[in-house]
Amino acid sequence: MIDRIPPQNLEAEQGVLGSMLLERDAIARVVEMVHPEDFYREAHRLIYEATIQLFERGEPVDLITITDRLHDLGQLERVGGPSYLTDLLNAVPTAANVEYYARIVVQKSMLRSLIRAGTEIASLGYEGDQDVEVLVDRAEKLVFTIARRRMAEEFVPIRDILKETFDSIDRRYKEKGIVTGIPMGFTDLDAKTAGLQPADLIIVAARPGMGKCLKHDVEIVDPVTGEPRTIEALVREGEARLLGLDERQRLVPVAPSAFVDDGRRPVFRVRTALGRQVEITLSHPFLASGGWKPLHALHVGDAIAVPRRLPVEGRVDLPEAQVRLLAFLVSEGRGSNPPREVREEPVEAYRTHMAAQGTGRRPPSVAGGAPAGGDLPATVFTLRRERLALFLNRLLAFDGGLFFDEEGGPYVTCTTGSDRRARQIQHLLLRFGIAARVYPVEAGASAVHEVLIEGPADVRAFVEEIGMLGWESRIAEAKAALAHAPPAPAVDICWDRIEAIEPLGEHQVYDLTVPGLHNFVAADVLVHNTTFCLNVASHVAAYRNIPVAIFSLETNSVQLVQRMLCAEAEVDNNRLRTGFLADSDWPKLARAMGRLSEAPVYVDDSANVSVIEMRAKARKLKAETGLGLVIIDYLQLIHSYKRNENRTQEISEIARSLKSLAKELDIPIIAISQLSRAVELSNDKRPLLSHLRESGELEQVADLVLFIYREDYYKPDTENANRTEINIAKHRNGPTGKVELFFNKEFNRFRNLSGREVEAG
């Protein structure tokens, strides 16, 4: 590298020092701008330090006192003696330009720092044995410290800290009780915490969604493979693919972000008019006509949304003859007077299959068919669409038929001795957009179950894509009768009526957290899955004009802002989601949009973001907007750049990194955390610090830990409905205790229970 003189301006340095010797007021104008290390020449740095020491003591600052101070420090000769100090005094005629000189000194200092940082960054590039994300973070920090005009932190003498501490104490004494940090908008909570303090890490924790669970053996279909798996198996494996309902009312593939074991809880079976059924807890919501409602708010006769079609298609491509033979082997022979082609089908399929195999032995995959009335083989659910249509064609030919009612309307039936098999067939038909009904039928001493396809659009879809062997003449007749019938509606859901809600006692239950959509399809029924912190964000940004950054790892930005808008406008969230808005809602939404549009809130909904990425984005926002608060939803979803198999250690490292970021930016950071299911095993269900999921060092690193507890979640009939307890479980710099807030479920909004509203501004 070419040896060059670092950027510097000795004349500007002399101008700063001369102005300070000339006028005491000049010192006050530059002391916050210029640091001792900004001076290129060491003599100038020593003179500046001596001048600042006299200024801070309140002593006179002139040629005589500076000379005496440097002499006492043994530095007078090092700076050039009394004659050089006299030269500095004579170098400037007036102190009016001291700030101009100071800016030049600082700019040259920053250029020298940039050169040093560039050299360090270049050397980092050769450290190939370290993780590249760590190296990039270190390089970014070097540049960021320059942008903030702060050099690398060193030990600070306590005398330099005491003055700032005393000023803070004096200010609090004069204010007496006024919140010293950033107010959250809740009077009693702010009084106990004094607001959100700079450099603090705040943990806010609650059970995920305050609990919504499915019985352990409820099946969920994989939209990619078509394979149905129990929720227990998915939780055990920690990986799954599901179907969820998006904002356009379309079923789309989703992946859960959390797998929750909720222990044993009371379970209820919900049966619908179409014969769908799912076994869940009372708090689990369904999509009803007025929006998502928990089961305990629904009754027999209420309509809920269920899939009208399932966008699921398997990938397995068995030989045609093998599929035909498999259908025969698992059939129960309950068809009514099957045609000759149906009776001859098994023999023909077997001969074709054996010829293809070149052996007289029956292949194991075919021999493994289910016994009559048992479950359908797992392979059936993974067949690609054409092969699945062939399987259903033959199965219904063996066990069903196509008939016409008194008015000439065609309908299709399939009879089985198993309720579970009937619902499996019903599920497979949904993949073709055919909504069949399942119901029990008395047949002598035992009951059988019938799968009925009767809607014109559904029968038309069946005869056009599936059909039935041997029933070709009736198929043709049905097509003629349905020639003018409309096709199946191009929608993914339909309304189904609840026919029964039956208690099943206590069972092991699980739940899945689905980012963004917060719902998924289980047993062919739609079921649903950070409100406090969003309320805080709205207050801080909209009413205090403090920039807030939200890292939303679970919910996409549109849905998150919709929840904020709902709370701000005080419009029912269910009506907002489903579009059933009243005329009176629109003015409230317009006013809320006006307030929020002016609020300095910045949302990042990137998935799998790491602390390093958060740090980079927060630094940039701090430099651009003066960022005052960061909210992370939620901590357990933060991606770790380290390859560590121990998730508890990863979370501990993430927590320490967040605390470091809070100190670096000098702002509070709120991290939302989940609680472990251990809280469900306690007597009063109130969370403790030990209940923090993957806690590790969470409770050690955090400055403030808040737990959210709602009694009406555990006791729906409690007289304390809508009351929420905020438990200050840890407060490093203040008292702990409990504060009660009012929670409006419809608006997703917390309020002061005492009725005292926090003044804006």
DSSP class per residue in 470-518: T-HHHHHHHHHHTTTSPPPPS-SEEEEEEEEEEEEEEEEEEEEE-TTT-
pLDDT at 439 over 80: yes
What is the pLDDT averaged over residues 587-611? 84
Looking at the structure, tell me whether residues 85 and 227 fall in a common domain.
no
Calpha distance 658→656 (Å, rounded): 5
Calpha distance 343→374 (Å, rounded): 22
Per the domain annotation, does 712 fall within a domain?
no
The neighbouring-strand residues paired with 20 are none
Calpha distance 38→687 (Å, rounded): 51
At residue 757, the pLDDT reads 41
Domain that holds residue 301: 213-308+496-528
* Mean residue pLDDT across the chain: 80
At residue 150, the pLDDT reads 46
Residue-wise pLDDT for 386-407, tens only, equals 999 999 998 998 888 899 988 8
Looking at the structure, tell me whether residues 571 and 464 fall in a common domain.
no
At residue 337, the pLDDT reads 60
Residue-wise pLDDT for 61-71, tens only, equals 889 999 999 99
pLDDT at 462 over 80: yes
215: nearest Cα among 504, 554, 438 = 504
Calpha distance 549→671 (Å, rounded): 12
Tell me if the bond preceding 84 is cis, omega within 30° of 0.
no
Residues with Cβ within 8 Å of residue 361, at least 6 apart in sequence: none
604: nearest Cα among 575, 568, 631 = 631
Give the CB-side neighbour count of residue 359, counting CA atoms within 13 A. 5
Domain boundary, last residue among 490, 511, 540: 490
β 704-710/201-206 pair status: parallel
Calpha distance 62→187 (Å, rounded): 52
Please check whether residue 748 is in contact with residue 563, taking contact to mean a CB–CB distance below 8 angstroms.
yes
Looking at the structure, tell me whether residues 444 and 470 fall in a common domain.
yes
Output the CA–CA distances (angstroms, integers) from residue 333 to 346, 396, 416, in the order listed.
12, 10, 9
The neighbouring-strand residues paired with 507 are 265
| Range name among 82-96, 141-155, 251-265, 654-668 with the lowest pLDDT average | 141-155
> In what side-by-side order are the strands of the sheet with 410-416?
400-404, 410-416, 446-453, 437-443
Calpha distance 515→497 (Å, rounded): 28
Please check whether residue 440 is in contact with residue 416, taking contact to mean a CB–CB distance below 8 angstroms.
no
Please check whether residue 433 is in contact with residue 465, taking contact to mean a CB–CB distance below 8 angstroms.
no
Looking at the structure, tell me whether residues 620 and 691 fall in a common domain.
yes
CB atoms within 10 A of CB 608: 10
At residue 436, the pLDDT reads 94
> Which range in 129-138, 276-285, 302-311 is most confidently predicted, on average pLDDT?
302-311
Looking at the structure, tell me whether residues 581 and 598 fall in a common domain.
yes
Please check whether residue 476 is in contact with residue 239, taking contact to mean a CB–CB distance below 8 angstroms.
no
Record the pTM.
0.52
At residue 548, the pLDDT reads 93
Residue type, 392: L
Q: What share of the chain in percent tops pLDDT 70?
A: 78
pLDDT at 627 over 90: yes
Q: What share of the chain in percent tops pLDDT 90?
A: 19
Instruction: Encode 558-568: b = buried (16+ Cβ within 10 Å), e = exposed.
Output: ebbbbbbbbbb
Per the domain annotation, does 156 fall within a domain?
no
At residue 676, the pLDDT reads 66
| Range name among 91-100, 324-333, 439-448 with the lowest pLDDT average | 439-448
675: nearest Cα among 639, 699, 641 = 699
Per the domain annotation, does 751 fall within a domain?
no
What CATH number should be reported for the domain holding residue 222? 2.170.16.10
Q: Name the H helices within 331-471.
A: 340-357, 364-367, 378-381, 385-399, 419-430, 456-465
Per the domain annotation, does 733 fall within a domain?
no
Question: How many domains, in total, are found in the chain?
Answer: 4
Looking at the structure, tell me whether residues 233 and 246 fall in a common domain.
yes
**pLDDT-based confidence at residue 15 (cuts at 50, 70, 90):** very high
CB atoms within 10 A of CB 486: 9
Calpha distance 414→452 (Å, rounded): 7
Q: Name the H helices within 23-78.
A: 24-30, 42-57, 63-72
pLDDT at 369 over 50: no
Helix 10-22 to helix 42-57 angle (10° resolution) is 20
**pLDDT-based confidence at residue 42 (cuts at 50, 70, 90):** very high
At residue 12, the pLDDT reads 92
What is the pLDDT averaged over residues 126-149? 70
Q: Is 475 left (phi over 0), alpha (psi -120 to 50) or beta?
A: alpha
What is the pLDDT averaged over residues 698-722? 77
Please check whether residue 373 is in contact with residue 421, taking contact to mean a CB–CB distance below 8 angstroms.
yes
**pLDDT-based confidence at residue 46 (cuts at 50, 70, 90):** very high
CB atoms within 10 A of CB 551: 23
Per the domain annotation, does 366 fall within a domain?
yes
| Range name among 164-178, 182-196, 271-285 with the lowest pLDDT average | 164-178
Phi and psi at residue 569, in whole multiples of 5°? Answer: -85, -15
Per the domain annotation, does 188 fall within a domain?
no
At residue 712, the pLDDT reads 67
What CATH number should be reported for the domain holding residue 411? 3.10.28.10
What is the pLDDT averaged over residues 469-495? 85
Please check whether residue 549 is in contact with residue 631, taking contact to mean a CB–CB distance below 8 angstroms.
yes
At residue 542, the pLDDT reads 86
Give the CB-side neighbour count of residue 48, counting CA atoms within 13 A. 25
Looking at the structure, tell me whether residues 447 and 469 fall in a common domain.
yes
What is the pLDDT averaged over residues 444-455? 82
What is the pLDDT averaged over residues 440-462? 84
Residue-wise pLDDT for 508-545, tens only, equals 887 776 655 556 676 665 554 467 888 899 889 888 88
More confident residue, 224 or 151: 224
Angle 124-144-666 (CA atoms, 0-180°, nearest 5)? 125
**pLDDT-based confidence at residue 273 (cuts at 50, 70, 90):** very high
Please check whether residue 501 is in contact with residue 295, taking contact to mean a CB–CB distance below 8 angstroms.
yes
Phi and psi at residue 116, in whole multiples of 5°? Answer: -60, -40
C-alpha 339: how far from its chain's center?
57
Two tokens, residue 625: 């907007």
At residue 177, the pLDDT reads 57
Domain boundary, last residue among 505, 528, 551: 528
Looking at the structure, tell me whether residues 447 and 520 fall in a common domain.
no
Phi and psi at residue 361, in whole multiples of 5°? Answer: -85, 145
Calpha distance 240→259 (Å, rounded): 9
Calpha distance 78→699 (Å, rounded): 52
At residue 342, the pLDDT reads 62
Per the domain annotation, does 600 fall within a domain?
yes
Convert 209-266 into a string of H (helix), E (strand) and C (coil): HHCCCEECCCEEECCCCCCEEEHHHHHHHCCCCEEEECCCCCEEEECCCEEEEEEEEE
Domain boundary, last residue among 528, 549, 577: 528
Per the domain annotation, does 761 fall within a domain?
no
Calpha distance 502→512 (Å, rounded): 23
Calpha distance 743→207 (Å, rounded): 16
**pLDDT-based confidence at residue 631 (cuts at 50, 70, 90):** very high
Calpha distance 734→703 (Å, rounded): 10
At residue 208, the pLDDT reads 52
Q: State the maximum Cα–Cα separation within the chain, in Å, rounded to a whole number.
A: 123
Calpha distance 686→714 (Å, rounded): 11
pLDDT at 152 over 50: no
What is the pLDDT averaged over residues 743-751? 78
At residue 94, the pLDDT reads 85
Q: Identify the three-state secondary structure at position 746.
A: coil
Residue type, 724: T
Two tokens, residue 226: 């078509």
**pLDDT-based confidence at residue 569 (cuts at 50, 70, 90):** confident
Q: What is the dihedral of CA 279, 285, 290, 296, to 10 degrees?
A: 70
More confident residue, 126 or 177: 126
At residue 713, the pLDDT reads 64
What CATH number should be reported for the domain holding residue 692? 3.40.50.300
Looking at the structure, tell me whether residues 143 and 20 fall in a common domain.
yes
Q: What is the dihedral of CA 552, 554, 557, 560, to 10 degrees?
A: -90
**pLDDT-based confidence at residue 677 (cuts at 50, 70, 90):** low
pLDDT at 347 over 60: no
183: nearest Cα among 536, 535, 530 = 536
Instruction: Encode 659-685: b = buried (16+ Cβ within 10 Å), e = exposed.
Output: bebbebbebbbbbbbbbbbebbeeeeb
Looking at the structure, tell me whether residues 538 and 684 fall in a common domain.
yes
Q: Which residue has tokens 């195999």?
A: 357
Looking at the structure, tell me whether residues 251 and 282 fall in a common domain.
yes
Check residue 690 and report its DSSP letter: G
More confident residue, 402 or 691: 402
What is the pLDDT averaged over residues 457-473? 89
pLDDT at 584 over 90: no
At residue 214, the pLDDT reads 75
At residue 244, the pLDDT reads 81
Looking at the structure, tell me whether residues 416 and 292 fall in a common domain.
no
More confident residue, 741 or 249: 741
516: nearest Cα among 556, 550, 552 = 556
What CATH number should be reported for the domain holding residue 78? 1.10.860.10
